[in-house]
Structure 1
Amino acid sequence: MTNRPDILCIGSVLWDVIGRSASVMRAGSDVPGRITRLPGGVALNIAMALARFGLRPALLSAVGRDAEGDELVAACAALNLETGYLYRSDDLPTDRYMAVEGANGLIAAIADAHSLEAAGDKILRPLLDGRLGTAETPFGGVVALDGNLTQFLLERIATDPALAQADLRVAPASPGKAERLMPFLTHPRAVLYVNLEEAGLLAQRSFDDSQAAAETLVARGAKRVLVTDGGKPAAEAVADAPTLSRQPPEVLVTRVTGAGDTFMAAHIAAEREGADRAAALSRALEVAAQYVSGDTSL
C-alpha cells in the first residue's frame, strides 16, 4: 500500500479501430480514408493523457489472456501506465471499439465491451485485497471512472467503503450509457464530465447550451458538473458558486474519438497542479482543441 499510483482509471481498456475520411459522410457512404488500430477505451484514453501530463495512472479493467490482450498490455506498459492491477481473464476476449469518422464528425461507432461487463467486480479486487486499499483503509486519491461498467457495478462503486474517501471523476463513455451515471448525480464526492446530449439524458430534458445544462444538474443535486458542446462554449457549475463558461479555441477538426477523455484528463491534471476553476477549464479546452486538430503530441 506504499508507492500508490497518482490516479486510478477504472473502465474500458481495449483496442480502438478507427476509420477516418476527409470526406463528408452519411449512411451508406463508401469513401477513401485511413483505418488505424491503437490502444483505446475511455479509461485508457484518460490514463494515456494523464501520463503525458507527468502523472502515474493505474488501470483497473479486464483484458483477455489472448494475443490481442498481451499486445495491448505491452503497449500500455510502454506508455508508462501501471498494468499490474488489470484483471486478466483466461476465457474472455479482449474488448474492441470500432468507429467511422468523416469531415462532418463521428458517423457511427460500436463498443464491444462485453468482457469488461462480464468481469464485473473482479476488476475491483486490488481495492479490497490491500494492494490499493481495503474497506477499512480506503483508497483516498483521484479515481477516473467511465460508464462502460454495468449499472450494477457503478451502483456498487458509488457506495463501496473501499472508495469512501476517493475523489470520483465520472464520465458516461457515450450518450447511450449516460443514464448509468444516475447513482453519481447526487453523490457528495463525484464530479461529472458530460457533453450536452449526455447532460440532457441525465436531466431527462433537452438543453440549448452547456450553461443551462450544468446549472440544471447541480440544481438536481450534483456536486459539480462540467458540460462540453463541441466547438460551442463549455460550462462548469458548482453548488453555491458562480457558473463558469468558456469558448473553446477554434481549430480544424481532424478527429473526434477520445476528445472528451482528453478534456477530462487535462482538467484533472490542471487541478492537481494547483489551477483554479477558471484556469483548469480553459486549460482543458485548449488541450482538447489541440487533440481534435490532430496535434501529434497528444
Structure 2
Amino acid sequence: MTQAPQILCIGSVLWDIIGRSDRSMRVGSDVPGRIIRVPGGVAMNIAMALSRFGLKPSLLTSIGRDAQGDELIEAAKVRDIQTDYIYRSDDLPTDIYMAVEGANGLIAAIADAHSLEAAGDKVLRPLSDGRLGSAESPYAGPIALDGNLTAALLREIATSPLFSAADLRVAPASPGKAERLQPLLHHPRATLYVNLEEAGLLCHQTFHRSQDAAGALIAKGAHRVLVTNGGDDATLASQNTVLTQTPPSVMVARVTGAGDTFMAAHIAAEMNGADSMNSLTQALEAAALYVSGDTDI
C-alpha cells in the first residue's frame, strides 16, 4: 500500500551536469575544475532537501522510460522520495540541466525541460483522478510547485479547483521563468519564494533591498512572499507581517540548488511548528550551510 505523502513536489526532475572551478571565470574562460552529474531539477532539489529534513515528499513530474530515467527513479527512492505518481513517458526523454560555476558564482546554465513541458497536465493526473484528490475533494496538504511548467499550465493551476485547498508554495525555477508566475500572484493560498531579480521581473521594477521587493509584491496582491538577496537581507512578508533577517556569512562553494534548499528548509520548519521568525532563521541557516559545501547534495 502506498504511504500518503506529507508534501507534493511538482515540476522538474532531471539530471544536473555541473562544472565547478575554484577560479573566477568570465565568457570564454577555460579553467581546471570538477564536473559532476547529480539528481536535480527544482522539484527534485526541494524533495531531496525535504527528505533530509525528515519529511516524506512525493514527486509529480515527467520522466522518460529510458536508462537515465530509470537511474533517476532509483536515485529518488534511495533518498526516501516517493515516485509512485510520476508520469513515465515512452516517447519523451528524461530532461537535463547544465551549469558552469566559478568562484564568482554561476557563470551560465541551460535547462532542457522540454519533456516536462510537453507532458503538460499529464503530470497532474493524480490530483484529479482520485489517487491524491479530485475537483470535488481537492488535495489539502502542502504542495511545492516550480515554474518549469508551461505558462499555460501555470495559468490553469492558478484557478483550478484541484489546488483550491492546498498550501501552495511556489518557486519560479529561474529569473528567465519568473514572469510565468504572474497568474499565481493572486492565489489566496500561495506563498512565493523569489530572489531579488525575480521579484523585480514580476513587479517590472529594480530593487536593491528584499524589504522593498517584498512590499511591492504584496501591494500587487500576493498572499505571502519570501524574497532572498544572496548573502544579504531576506524578507518574509504578508498583509500583516514583515520580517527581515541577514543570513550567516560563509565562504561560497556552490550556488546551484541554494534557493531550493532555502525553500525546503522554510517549509519543513513551518510544518514542524516553528513560528515565522524561527522558520526564516532556519531557512537562512540551511541555505548558508548548503552554499558553504558543508552538507551533501
Q: Same fold (TM over 0.5)?
A: yes
1:292: which partner in 2?
291
1:196-235 matches, within 5 Å, as: 196-235=196-235
- Residue 12 of structure 1 is matched in structure 2 by 12
Partner of 2:172: 172
CA distance in 2 between counterparts of 1:196 and 1:24 reads 23
State the one-letter code of the partner of 2:267: I
Residue 82 of structure 2 corresponds to which residue in structure 1?
82
Q: Per-residue displacement from partner, 1:108-131 (whole Å, max 9, x unpaired)?
A: 000000000000000001111111
Aligned match of 1:163: 163
Shift of 1:296: 2.9
Distance 1:245 1:135, change over 3 A: same
Q: Match for residue 93 of structure 2?
A: 93
Q: Report the Cα offset of residue 4 of structure 1.
A: 2.0
Identity of aligned residues (%): 69
Runs (4+) off by over 3 Å: none
CA RMSD in angstroms, aligned pairs only:
1.1
Amino acid at match of 1:136: E
CA distance in 2 between partners of 1:75 and 1:172 (Å): 24
How many residue pairs get matched? Answer: 297
Alignment of 1:19-30 (within 5 A): 19-30=19-30
1:187 aligned to 2:196?
no
Distance in 2 (CA, whole Å) between partners of 1:182 and 1:246 is: 26
**1:178-221 deviations in whole A, cap 9, x for unaligned?**
00000111111100000000000000010011000001100111
Q: TM-score, normalised by structure 2?
A: 0.98
Equivalent residue, structure 1, for 2:252: 253
- Aligned equivalent of 1:268: 267
Mark the runs of 5 or more structure 1 residues left unpaired by the alignment: none
Superposition deviation, residue 159 in structure 1: 1.5
The one-letter code sitting in structure 2 at the alignment partner of 1:187 is H
- Name the SS of the counterpart of 1:107 in structure 2: strand
Separation in 1, partners of 2:4, 2:126 = 11
Which digits, 9 at most, give the CA deviation of each residue in 1:203-244, with x for residues without a partner?
A: 001001100000110011111110001000111111023x11
AA aligned to 2:288 is A
Deviation at 1:3, TM superposition (A): 4.2
* In the alignment, structure 1 residue 39 sits paired with structure 2 residue 35: no
- Write the distance in 2 (CA, Å) between the matches of 1:196 and 1:163: 27
> Which amino acid counterpart does residue 133 of structure 1 have in structure 2?
G
Q: Secondary structure at the match of 2:46?
A: helix
SS of the equivalent of 1:117 reads helix
Q: Distance in 1 between matches of 2:295 and 2:219?
A: 39
> How far off its partner does 1:2 sit?
8.2
Give, in whole Å, the separation in 1 of the partners of 2:146 and 2:124.
Answer: 14
Give the distance between the partners of 1:163 and 1:235, measured in 2 at CA. 26
SS in 2 for 1:185: helix
Separation in 2, partners of 1:38, 1:248: 26
- Normalised by the length of structure 1, the TM-score is 0.98
Distance 2:154 2:7 in 1: 18
Is 2:263 aligned against 1:280?
no
